[in-house]
């Protein structure tokens, strides 16, 4: 085999479960710097796609996640969204549902023949079958979540199925936002939505100042 072939960089794609990654980082006590995240994985090979999946509450005058979604859309990410669905549970409480599992799975399977390595930012055990399916297609799968919390944010079956597991806590210095930078710019801290939005799967939020 020629030396140039041996040195050929692997083709990879990122699949970010937005609500899950936000919840994991928040539990670990830091914010994700999406500029640094993209740069980190571009340095590891040929990054073909960086998908970001989130549900949006469309009937609100202002969506707290919209500034982040817009920034990602213009800065190297392929953002996949859909409207949330509202329902009333058995106790009569208003709930909002915004599951993006199907959209993420379809995007991953569509990319399978073009990539060598899938990096999944989620701890959701529902993705175990997807990971197995990608592996059958010859794709190596890394799962990024955490076992540093109690209980762990990653499902055991997903971690076991993955070829590699990276604890998000170990990436804080690589892809975390610098709190000092936020203080210097006078930015407001990230906020959660109100009580009704807390049940939504897209309850992660960014202020307009977070990404400019």
**Total count of domains within the chain:** 1
Does residue 206 fall inside a structural domain?
no
Task: Identify the pLDDT of residue 202.
Answer: 39
Range of the structural domain that residue 122 is part of? 11-199
Residue 36 host element (H or E): helix 34-42
DSSP, res 114: G
Please name the helix (run of DSSP H) or strand (run of DSSP E) that holds residue 142, with its range, or none.
Answer: strand 140-145
* Its pTM surpasses 0.75: yes
Q: Specify if 3 maps to a domain.
A: no
Domain presence at residue 126: yes
CA 125 – CA 157 distance, rounded (Å)? 6
From residue 125, give the alpha-carbon distance in Å to each of 57, 106, 129, 130, 157: 25, 17, 9, 10, 6
Q: Are strands 85-88 and 94-97 parallel, antiparallel or unpaired?
A: antiparallel
Q: For residue 178, what pLDDT is reported?
A: 80
Asked if residue 193 belongs to a domain, the reply is yes
Tell whether 33 is covered by a domain: yes
Quickly count: other Cβ atoms within 10 Å of residue 152's Cβ. 15
Q: Residue 204 and residue 22: Cα distance in Å, rounded?
A: 6
Instruction: Identify whether 4 is part of a domain.
Output: no
Q: Which residues contact 102 (CB under 8 A, 6 or more apart)?
A: none
Asked if residue 5 is part of any domain, the answer here is no
180: domain CATH number is 3.40.50.1010
As a whole number of angstroms, the distance between CA 104 and CA 162 comes to: 16
Residue 56: per-residue pLDDT: 86
User: Which residues does the chain have with pLDDT short of 50?
Assistant: 183, 185-212
Q: What pLDDT, on the 0 to 100 scale, is given for residue 4?
A: 52
In a domain, residue 86? The reply is yes
């Amino acid at each position: 085999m020629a030396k140039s072939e041996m040195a050929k960089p692997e083709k990879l794609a990122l699949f970010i479960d937005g609500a899950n990654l936000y919840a994991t980082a928040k539990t670990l006590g830091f914010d994700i710097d999406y500029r640094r995240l993209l740069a980190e994985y571009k340095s590891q090979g040929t990054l073909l796609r960086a998908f970001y999946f989130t549900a949006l509450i469309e009937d609100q005058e202002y969506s707290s996640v919209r500034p982040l979604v817009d920034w990602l859309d213009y800065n190297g990410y392929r953002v996949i969204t859909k409207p949330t669905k509202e329902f009333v549970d058995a106790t009569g409480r208003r709930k909002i549902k915004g599951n993006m599992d199907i959209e993420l799975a379809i995007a991953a399977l569509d990319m399978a023949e073009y990539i060598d390595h899938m990096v999944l930012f989620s701890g959701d055990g529902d993705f175990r079958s997807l990971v197995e399916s990608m592996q059958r297609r010859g794709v190596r799968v890394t799962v990024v979540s955490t076992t540093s919390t109690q209980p762990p944010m990653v499902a055991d079956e997903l971690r076991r199925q993955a070829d590699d597991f990276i604890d998000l806590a170990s990436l804080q210095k690589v892809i975390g936002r610098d709190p000092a930078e936020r203080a210097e710019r006078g930015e407001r801290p990230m906020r959660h939505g109100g009580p009704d939005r807390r049940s939504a799967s897209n309850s992660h939020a960014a202020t307009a100042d977070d990404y400019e």
